[in-house]
Structure 1
Amino acid sequence: MRIMLAFLLAFSVAGCSPAEAGKSVEQSQQAIKTFHGELNAGNFDDIYYGSADEMQDSVDIVGFEELLGAVQKKLGKAGKSEQQSWHVNFANGTTIVTLTMQTTYDKDKATETFVYVKAKDGMKLAGYNIQSRALIVN
């Protein structure tokens, strides 16, 4: 029993190394740059169809395009984006990265929260939240 417990503990720790966490955060940061580039270009379909199943299951393409269209219309183009916080979670063999960014858009600043899951071909967007005064009052 002790041997099995030690094996399970070693196996679970091996899956969440600091190096792997750091690499996943870096990949997510790059994915955010790509997201903002696609957003600025109006390529909402590319963002949606490149996202994780969790994202596509939570909203259809029309609703997703409406959201990003409103962001673009009310805030303008995304500019400089600075990381405010990050969190990496390893659950059931899945790496989940949450990054909170302070992004300067043409018309206002916004706090954006991105959730990425690690897939075979890179980090996939699983969740997106944006908060900005301009989204409410404009």
Structure 2
Amino acid sequence: MRTLTTLIAGAACLAGCSVAANRSAAEAGIADFHKALDAGQFDTIYDGASPDMKTASAPQAFGGMLAAVHRKLGAFRSGTAVNWNDSHTMKGEFVTISYAAIYERGKAQESFAYRMLSGRAELAGYHIASDALILN
């Protein structure tokens, strides 16, 4: 019985470490995303994205959307993770983070999905909602 309890506790610790590392990798991905967005490096964001993202959006469409975000909202100022989730699916492991962002010309709610591959986070999805995108 003691061995089983030790094994379960050990597995929980390893899973917890993985979740924390995944979240850190995804948050670093968000910081890199915003730096590239501010620098107008939309191709860099797309090129580093996972096949999930590339299947869902053509490079020109994705780059055009990011250009509009940058043009209408301006430079990224700050942001805070509102909630996050680490999930294991039949398609792989994903970390999703909802993010409250403040840009130069308005606020936005962003949602990032990252596919986790050997401790590396690849952007698998990005969604943004902002009144300023419509009003600016």
Q: TM-score, normalised by structure 1?
A: 0.86
Describe how 1:1-138 pairs up with structure 2 within 5 A. 17-92=15-90, 94-120=92-118, 122-138=120-136
Q: Provide the aligned C-alpha RMSD in A.
A: 1.7
Identity %: 31
Shift of 1:92: 3.4
Give the gaps of 5 or more residues in structure 2: 1-7
Amino acid in the other structure paired with 1:22:
A
Give deviations 1:79-125, integer Å, cap 9, x for gaps.
11101000110123722000001111000010000000012471000
Secondary structure, aligned partner of 2:21: helix
Give the gaps of 5 or more residues in structure 1: 1-9
Amino acid in the other structure paired with 2:134:
I
Shift of 1:19: 1.4
Amino acid in the other structure paired with 2:24:
E
In structure 2, C-alpha distance between the alignment counterparts of 1:78 and 1:112, rounded to whole Å: 12
